[in-house]
Chain A
Amino acid sequence: MTTQKKFPPHPMDSLLRTERLPHIWCPGCGIGTVFSAVLAAIKNTGWDPDQIAMVSGIGCTGRMAGYIKLDSFHTTHGRALPFATGLKLARPDTKVIVVSGDGDLFAIGGNHFIHAARRNMDITVICVNNLNYGMTGGQQAPSTPLGAKTTTTVNGSPEEPFNFCHLASACGATYVARWTAMQVRSLRSSISEALEKRGFSFVEVITPCPSSFGRRNRMGSALEMLKFYHGRSVIRGDIDPKDASMDIDKEIVVGKFVDIERPTFMDHYEKANRHQMPQWRMHPDNQKAR
């Protein structure tokens, strides 16, 4: 194919649908960095690629599933997690990675995120947080900073954004980390750890969207945005996730915030169906009565 000739071989070609390149992402977009980190982390695990699946929702990041040479599913907006839940339960031996944007995972898909984390589905979720809806041209997202300009908040966003890591942790995720797209090494090792983690693991990446978010907020070039986010970042591992502030104006706390063990959905499901679930009673007196 003609498009292939343009590109010299890349170390990650074995995991890429090279015939689909060039990709659709804008110059300077942070998704490429995250994608590279995901590919490197996958290689690093040494797993059989036939036993790894990627599921995505809709949006710029959702397109990642279209470029990775794994079993890959580009589903509906916000529904990557419930789709991945069904896939994982049908094929428990398959490693399931969900990649999506902040809007997909936390606005339209917010409820699914909460429940997948609560159930502790054995899934790794990578969230590319670019602070707006990029694919549709830069609208307000649940991550948009208070006062930031988007095409739907020209006078500044009147809403306070989510802290996704705090949310993930509160819902029961077993692994939670946040990095900016500048901190590639840490990002890569966090994704590796998340992949190896049993249970619901979550990695958030703060990425530049120079075409939409950056342009409307006069943040300069992609590189300037990267530097800006990096400059605002403060590494504070093992901090209580509720204190891991995600405030572009002050500080972006990055690091690994949660790394715990908790039984997965399947652990509990199997236990219950072997009739080994401890009996649950509302009041100790009822226990006696039984």
Chain B
Amino acid sequence: MFAKAVLTGTHFINGDQACCEGALAAGCRFFAGYPITPATEIAESISRRLPELGGIYIQMEDEIASMAAILGASWGGVKSMTSTSGPGFSLMMENIGLGICTETPCVICNVQRAGPSTGLPTLVAQGDMMQARWGSHGHYEIIALSPASPQEMFDFTIRAFNLSEQFRLPVIILADEVIGHMNERVVIPSEEDIEIIDRRKPTVSREEYHPYKADADGIAPMANCGDGYRIHVTGLTHDERGYPAMDAKAQENMVKRLVGKILNNRDKIISTKNLFLDDAEVVVVSYGISARSAMQAVRDARKEGIKAGLIKLETIWPFPEELIRSIAPQVRALIMPEINGGQMVLELERAACGACPVTLVSNYGGAIIHPGLILSAINKAAKGKA
């Protein structure tokens, strides 16, 4: 009756379609969204695929509603996601905060275009990096991934679901227009070869169960609506029972755990791909489509005899501070290519702690960064006085 969820085989598809297939392979069976360039193809693909898998696709009235609906579906026990781009991402911030506070697993794919405001709807940018980190009010930690190819759109979407289920929070995929619309080979493994992580279920009786009482690793088992636990879930500051608790102590307990469950598990979350790092004198740190340009530049530099290396950030948040802090004193310079006025470069500078110069190679959006620009920055850094 139902079609296959995992389309094992080799495909030639774009990043948005790969994201859709990754979601389905991860077990996503609910999608709520709103059309927006350049993320529309995710909604289009999944609207066709979900019904044949017994899932639900619903087009909501806006992105606020889309985000609220995926939280509701997640509490109903169904893995859920939405996709959008900058203007919609702005609207989602409110309920991303609710998802953080209520510890609701779900996935948001932001296929970035140039802003501010309506900006360049059809053209690439990486301008929402800090918005993903700090866009909703209050203090919190987030997990964000940055795919650099349609293959990674597939792989990272699965990982995003796994991380969201494991750590109980909305996980953000920070893709970009070029990755979303680029057609490339995508290999979908067989179902058995895909690791799936599901949320931890309560093991105690209804009387003993406290929805926000965490296990030793800081993560609380999650009862779904209808499981008989009669949970209360609120965006107000709450105690272990999930009940509102209006004081500084309760606030500290709650936020400390929300932050701690991410920061204390950084080693399980952070992922980078390092190239030629062992003897590198100039290291390019980049992500998403810009990491593709950086890869070319680093290879070209090596051909010219420059000891260049690359750190490709697969996870953006949490930022790999320790790695950067250990590398910075050993290199002449760090270079960050990114399609914005300089966002992740600030994190890079912070983590480098002044141990080496940090250079930004960027544009404000609308075009990818030419590898030649990165190469000349590498050249300059290699010749410069360390």
Contacts and interface: CB of A to CB of B under 8 A. Distances in A.
B228 A50 contact: yes
B72 A85 contact: yes
Nearest to A273: B51
The A interface is mostly helix, strand or loop, or mixed, namely helix
Given A83-B69, A91-B226, A112-B65, A74 B232 contact: yes
A20, A65, A79, A84: which has the most chain B beta carbons within 10 Å?
A79
B286 interface: no
The B interface is mostly helix, strand or loop, or mixed, namely mixed
A111 B62 CA distance: 9
Interface residues of A, number: 39
A85 B61 CA distance: 12
A55 interface: yes
B72 A55 contact: yes
B235 A90 contact: no
A76 B72 contact: no
Contact of A90 (B68, B73, B232): B73
A115 interface: yes
Interface in A82-107: 82-91, 93-94
Interface string B73-90: 111111010000000000
B92 to A, nearest CB: 11
A73 B226 contact: no
A91 B71 contact: no
B296 to A, nearest CB: 43
A79 B93 CA distance: 13
B226 A72 contact: no
A53 to B, nearest CB: 5
Interface string A54-80: 010000000001100111111110010
B59 to A, nearest CB: 10
B232 A53 contact: no
B356 interface: no
B243 A90 contact: no
Interface of A: 17, 20, 49-51, 53, 55, 65-66, 69-76, 79, 81-91, 93-94, 111-112, 114-115, 265, 269, 272-273
Sorted nearest first, the 10 A-B pairs with minimum C-beta distance are A90-B76, A86-B72, A86-B69, A82-B65, A87-B72, A86-B73, A82-B68, A74-B234, A273-B51, A90-B73
7 contacts: A73-B232, A82-B32, A85-B58, A85-B68, A86-B74, A89-B56, A272-B51
